[in-house]
Amino acid sequence: MLGTLVLSSTWGFAQTAPATAAAGQTEEEDVLVLSPFEVSAESDTGYSTATTLAGNRLNTELRDIGNAVTVINSQFLKDIAATSNETLLQYTVAPKSAT
């Protein structure tokens, strides 16, 4: 009985529609002008990397490395917004982290 009374008392509180402008009046809005930009892929090399400093601290060509390596360059890290090892491991072929 009490639940029915509480439920029926909340029906009186409904949202109202916002007031609209009169028929002859218009609201002026600030116009936002964006600067034009151009997208070009002429010098885009993607995520390719040819050399590494890992392993022997010398600038070595990746084709001369004797082991299989996964290369993750700084542009890739920025693009996926990796902030920790866990966020980076989602995009590698390494085993999943324990977390």
* Residues 6 or more apart whose Cβ sits within 8 Å of residue 79: none
Higher-confidence residue of 39 and 80: namely 80
Q: What is the pLDDT of residue 60?
A: 87
Which has the closest alpha carbon to 82: 72, 70, 93? 72
Give the long-range contacts of residues 58-63, CB within 8 A, separation 24 or more: none
Q: Count of residues for the chain?
A: 99
CA angle (33, 35, 41) in 5-degree steps: 145
Question: What pairs with residue 61 in β-bridges?
Answer: 51
Inform me whether the pLDDT recorded for 3 exceeds 80. Answer: no
pTM: 0.46
Q: What is residue 46's three-state secondary structure?
A: coil
pLDDT tens per residue, range 16-67: 766 665 555 667 788 889 888 888 777 777 788 888 887 778 888 888 888 8
8 Å CB contact between 61 and 35: no
Q: What is the pLDDT of residue 84?
A: 86
